[in-house]
Amino acid sequence: MTDITLKCACGTVKGTAYDVSPENGLRVVCYCDDCQAFANELGRGTDTLDEFGGTDIYQMAPGRVTFSEGNDQLRCLRLTKKGTTRWYTACCNTPIGNTASSSVPFVGMIHTIMDDEGIRDQTLGPVRSYVQGNHAIGDLPPEKYNKGFPIGITLTIIWKILGWKISGKGSPDPFYGEDGRPVCKPKIVNEAS
C-alpha cells in the first residue's frame, strides 16, 4: 500500500490519499457525458479527459483522504439539482473527485488531483473497467466498450462501500461536515434542472 500526494495544478491545495492499492479501491475510466461536462465546465477538459472523453477515476474510502493545505479552496458543483456532487479547487479549477452523500462512504478521486503520473499502474493497478462507453467520443476500441456499468463492477463497488461503512473508513470525511452537509454549498450548474 502506498500514500499518494494530492496536489492541484497550482500547488495551493495539498493533501494525501492513504493506503492506496489495487485492493483498497477501484480504478475505472468513465466516459459518461456528465464527467465530460464537469471537466469542460472547469475549462480542464484537455488535461482531464483522454482522447475518447474518458476520466481516469480511483474510487476509494473518503476516510483515507485528507487535505493539509488550501482547505478553503475546496468547491463543489452539481450539474443538476440532485446530481452527483463534484469537487474541484477554486484556485486553479483542478477536478478533485465525485461523491454521492455523507451516508455513502465513497469518493471517486480524479487523476488530476493525484500526484502519481507515471506510477498509477503500479500503485492503483490497471484500469479495472471502462464504463459508460456509449457516451465516448470518437472510435472507442471495442475492448473498452461497455454500455453503462457492467454488473460485476457495480457489485464490486457496492461491496467495497459496505466494507468501508462497516469498518468506519468513511470518516473523517473531508467533503462532508458533522451535520452531513457538504463542507461548501454546491453550485448548481443547470438551475432549471
Residue 113 C-beta: closest distance to Zn ion, Å: 10
Kindly give the residue spans of alpha helices, DSSP state H, lying in the chain: 33-41, 45-48, 120-123, 151-166
Q: Which stretch binds Zn ion (CB under 5 A): 5-13, 17-25, 116-124, 158-166?
A: 5-13
Site for Zn ion in 31-70 (CB under 5 A): 32, 35
**Beta strands per DSSP E along 23-167:** 26-30, 55-60, 65-69, 74-78, 85-89, 95-99, 107-110, 129-131
Q: Does 10 bind Zn ion (CB under 5 A)?
A: yes
Cell representation of residue 98: 465525485
Cell representation of residue 43: 475549462
Site string (82-121) toward Zn ion, x via CB under 5 A: -------x-xx-----------------------------
Residue 167 C-beta: closest distance to Zn ion, Å: 26
Q: Does 74 bind Zn ion (CB under 5 A)?
A: no
Cα 2 to the center of its chain, rounded Å: 18
Which member of 29, 30, 107, 127 binds Zn ion (CB under 5 A)? 30
Which member of 4, 6, 7, 8 binds Zn ion (CB under 5 A)? 8
Residue 166 C-beta: closest distance to Zn ion, Å: 27
Residue 132 C-beta: closest distance to Zn ion, Å: 6
| 3 in Cβ contact with 18 (< 8 Å) | yes
Q: Does 158 bind Zn ion (CB under 5 A)?
A: no
| 93 in Cβ contact with 136 (< 8 Å) | no
Q: Does 153 bind Zn ion (CB under 5 A)?
A: no
Closest CA to 42 of 93, 83, 80, 91: 93
What are the residues binding Zn ion (CB under 5 A)? Answer: 8, 10, 12, 30, 32, 35, 89, 91-92
